[in-house]
Amino acid sequence: MTFSTEQWRNHFESLINSSDDFVAIATPNGKMVFVNEAGKEMVSLPGDLDIKETLFTDFVTAHGSLAYSEELDHIFAGQDWKGIGWLKNWANNKVFPVQVTSLVLTDPLHDQPIALATIRRDLREIHAAKLESDRLRLHDPLTGLSGRSQFENKLDDSIARSITNRRYASVFFVDVDRFHEINASLGHFVADGLLAQVANRLTNSAVGARAVSRFGGDEFLILMENLADQTQAEEIASRLISAFDEPFPIENNDVYVSISIGVCFGNTNASQMISLADQAVYQAKSRGRARYEIVEATLSAQIADDHVSKYRELHLAIDRGELFTLFQPIVRLDDKKIVAAEALVRWMRPNHGIVPPLEFIQLAESTGLISRIGELVLKSACSLIKTLNDHGISLKIAINVSQLQLVDPNFALIVTTELTRYEISPGQLTLEVTESVAMDDIETIGRTIALLKEAGTLISIDDFGTGYSSVRTLRHLPFDTLKIDREFVSAVDEQGNDYAVVRAIIAMANALGLSIVAEGVETADQQDSLVQLGCPYAQGFLYSHPISEGELVSILTFDNLDDLEQSPGLL
Ligand code: C2E
Ligand code: MG
Ligand code: MG
Q: How confident is the model at residue 467 (pLDDT cuts 50, 70, 90)?
A: low
Q: How confident is the model at residue 82 (pLDDT cuts 50, 70, 90)?
A: confident
> Is the pLDDT assigned to residue 13 strictly greater than 90?
no
> Is the pLDDT assigned to residue 197 strictly greater than 90?
yes
Containing 35, the helix (H) or strand (E) segment is strand 32-35
Residue nearest to atom 10 of ligand 1 (CA): 546
Rounded to 5°, angle at Cα 503 from 498 and 509: 125
CA-483 nearest atom, ligand 1: 3
pLDDT at 557: 77
Main-chain dihedrals φ then ψ at residue 49, nearest 5 degrees: -85, 130
| Lowest-pLDDT range of 269-283, 510-524, 550-564 | 550-564
Can you give the C-alpha Rg of the chain in angstroms? 29
pLDDT at 130: 65
Mean pLDDT of 449-478: 83
DSSP, collapsed to helix, strand or coil, labels residue 564 as helix
Q: How far is the CA of 275 from the centre of ligand 3 (A)?
A: 32
CA-542 nearest atom, ligand 1: 18
CATH of 131-299, one of 3.40.50.10490, 3.40.50.1470, 3.40.50.300, 3.30.70.270: 3.30.70.270
Q: State how beta strands 337-349 and 323-332 pair.
A: antiparallel
DSSP, collapsed to helix, strand or coil, labels residue 272 as helix
Domain boundaries, the chain: 5-122, 131-299, 323-565
Q: Is 442 in the pocket of ligand 1 (CB under 6 A)?
A: no
Mean pLDDT of 491-506: 89
Q: Is 520 in the pocket of ligand 1 (CB under 6 A)?
A: yes
Q: How confident is the model at residue 69 (pLDDT cuts 50, 70, 90)?
A: low
> Is the pLDDT assigned to residue 300 strictly greater than 60?
no
Q: Is 8 in the pocket of ligand 1 (CB under 6 A)?
A: no
Q: Write the pLDDT tens digit of every residue in 394-435.
A: 999 999 999 888 888 889 999 999 999 999 999 999 999 986
Q: Is 328 in the pocket of ligand 1 (CB under 6 A)?
A: yes
> Is the pLDDT assigned to residue 204 strictly greater than 60?
yes
CATH of 323-565, one of 3.40.50.40, 3.40.50.10090, 3.20.20.450, 3.40.630.10: 3.20.20.450
Mean pLDDT of 76-81: 88
CATH of 5-122, one of 3.30.450.20, 3.40.50.920, 3.90.190.10, 3.20.20.220: 3.30.450.20
Most confidently modeled of 298-307, 316-325, 523-532?
A: 523-532
Please give the single-letter amino acid code of residue 558. Answer: F
> CA 438 to CA 448: how far, in whole Å?
17
pLDDT at 543: 92
Mean pLDDT of 109-134: 81
Q: How confident is the model at residue 62 (pLDDT cuts 50, 70, 90)?
A: low
Q: How far is the CA of 528 from the centre of ligand 2 (A)?
A: 23
Q: Write the pLDDT tens digit of every residue in 350-359.
A: 877 888 898 8
Q: Is 541 in the pocket of ligand 1 (CB under 6 A)?
A: yes
Q: How far is the CA of 461 from the centre of ligand 3 (A)?
A: 8
Q: Write the pLDDT tens digit of every residue in 233-273.
A: 999 999 999 999 999 988 888 889 999 999 999 888 888 88
Q: What is the DSSP letter of 55?
A: B
Q: State how beta strands 396-401 and 337-349 pair.
A: parallel
> Is the pLDDT assigned to residue 136 strictly greater than 70?
no
Q: 23-33 b/e with 16+ CB inside 10 Å = b?
A: bbbbebebebe
- What burial class does residue 103 get, using C-beta atoms within 10 Å of its C-beta: 0-12 exposed, 13-18 middle, 19+ buried? middle
For every residue of 492-554, DSSP letters joined together read GGGTSHHHHHHHHHHHHHHHTT-EEEE----SHHHHHHHHHTT--EE-STTT---B-HHHHHH
| Lowest-pLDDT range of 119-123, 310-314, 418-422, 468-472 | 468-472
Mean pLDDT of 159-175: 87
Residue nearest to atom 12 of ligand 1 (CA): 520
pLDDT at 33: 94
> Is the pLDDT assigned to residue 302 strictly greater than 60?
no
Task: Name the residue of 331, 399, 400, 466 to mutate for ligand 1: max ligand atoms within 8 A of Cβ.
Answer: 400
pLDDT exceeding 90 applies to what percent of the chain?
48
> Higher-confidence residue: 448 or 477?
448
> Is the pLDDT assigned to residue 571 strictly greater than 50?
no
> Is the pLDDT assigned to residue 470 strictly greater than 70?
no
Q: How confident is the model at residue 203 (pLDDT cuts 50, 70, 90)?
A: very high
> CA 505 to CA 59: how far, in whole Å?
42
pLDDT at 137: 63
> CA 198 to CA 175: how far, in whole Å?
10
Q: Is 462 in the pocket of ligand 1 (CB under 6 A)?
A: yes
> Is the pLDDT assigned to residue 460 strictly greater than 50?
yes
pLDDT at 116: 93
Q: How far is the CA of 484 from the centre of ligand 2 (A)?
A: 10
Q: Taking all residues of the chain, what is their mean pLDDT, rounded to a whole number?
A: 86
Question: What is the value of pTM for the model shown?
Answer: 0.55
pLDDT exceeding 70 applies to what percent of the chain?
90
CA-546 nearest atom, ligand 1: 11
Q: Is 485 in the pocket of ligand 1 (CB under 6 A)?
A: no
> Is the pLDDT assigned to residue 330 strictly greater than 70?
yes
Q: How far is the CA of 136 from the centre of ligand 1 (A)?
A: 37
Its sign, for the CA torsion 120, 126, 131, 134, is negative
Q: Is 388 in the pocket of ligand 1 (CB under 6 A)?
A: no
| Lowest-pLDDT range of 115-119, 425-429, 530-534, 567-571 | 567-571
Q: Is 362 in the pocket of ligand 1 (CB under 6 A)?
A: no
Mean pLDDT of 162-184: 89
Q: How confident is the model at residue 437 (pLDDT cuts 50, 70, 90)?
A: very low
Mean pLDDT of 153-168: 82
Q: Write the pLDDT tens digit of every residue in 26-53.
A: 999 899 999 999 999 999 999 999 999 9
Q: Is 355 in the pocket of ligand 1 (CB under 6 A)?
A: no
pLDDT at 561: 37
Q: How confident is the model at residue 158 (pLDDT cuts 50, 70, 90)?
A: confident
